[in-house]
Amino acid sequence: MSSAVSTTVKPQLRGLLQSKIKRNLIVAMGLSVVSGVLFKIFVSDARKNQYAEFYKNYDAEEEFKRMKNLGLFQSG
C-alpha cells in the first residue's frame, strides 16, 4: 500500500456567486460581440451588396413603363 495521503480540494464557500456571475458575464459579452460581428459580415454586408447590385442595373423609368403596359395603375 501507498503511504501517501490524498487530500480533497475544499469547495469554494464564499464568493461563489460573484465569481460565477463574473465568468458568465465575460462569456456572454464575448459571445455577443462575436455574434454581432458575424451578423454584420454575413447578413448586413451581404444584403448591402445585393441592394447595390440590384440598383446598379435598375431602370425606374423602364419599370414604370412595364407596369403601365400591364395595367397595374388605375390612373389615366
pLDDT in tens, 4-43: 788 898 888 899 999 999 999 999 999 999 999 999 999 9
- Please answer whether residues 24 and 17 qualify as being in contact, where contact means their C-beta atoms are separated by less than 8 angstroms: no
pLDDT given for residue 76 in this prediction: 55
39's grid cell: 451578423
As a whole number of Å, the end-to-end CA separation of the chain is 104
What kind and span of H or E run contains 2? none
Rounded Cα gap, residues 66 and 54, in angstroms: 17
In which residue are the cell numbers 459571445 written?
A: 31
Listed residue (62, 58, 57) closest to 70, CA to CA? 62
Note the pTM of the prediction, 2 decimals: 0.62
